[in-house]
Amino acid sequence: MNTEKISTWQIALGVFAGTLASSLCLQAIDAFLAQQAINRAQHELHETEKQVDKAAQEAARARNMQAATDFAERQRQEALQRDQQAASAAAANDAAVAKTAKEQAWQRYYQRPKECDNPPNDQAMVDCGNRAIRARTEFDRLHGS
């Protein structure tokens, strides 16, 4: 009898570990999406820097070299700051949107059975946990996560 209870708790611990691993996977996905947003922003930053450099060259021909250099530097710094702020905001927004959308999709996908609201015994609790883990695994497989 005592061995059976230990085994049930071990199973419950396994369910908890699986749920935790699933949560960690979601965090990794969020980090990946944020990195993609940062990469996009860096590319845009690079393109903006090219445009600023071109503007600086045109200004150097129209005015003396020092005035053109000062103008280009101010423009580059302002663009860099704007792009860095935009990249940070875009990355945070993309990650939040992706996480919210995925969580909403999960809520629509998985409806916990009524009998799992208050399982009558340890085995029923383990079965409910396993059912939820299998559903989440299938959901993640279908949604590319």
Q: Which residue has the tokens 């820097």?
A: 49
Q: What is the pLDDT of residue 109?
A: 92
- The predicted-structure confidence for 29-48, as pLDDT tens digits, reads as follows 888 888 988 988 888 888 88
- The predicted-structure confidence for 76-117, as pLDDT tens digits, reads as follows 888 888 889 888 988 889 888 888 999 999 999 999 999 999
Domain limits, the chain: 35-109, 113-145
- For the chain, the distance separating the N- and C-terminal CA atoms, rounded to the nearest angstrom, is 40
Longest dimension (CA), the chain: 92
Single out the residue of 81, 76, 58 nearest to residue 68, CA to CA.
58
**What letter does residue 6 receive in the DSSP assignment?**
H
Q: Is the distance from CB of 110 to CB of 132 less than 8 angstroms?
A: yes
Give the model's confidence band at 6: pLDDT under 50 very low, under 70 low, under 90 confident, else very high: low
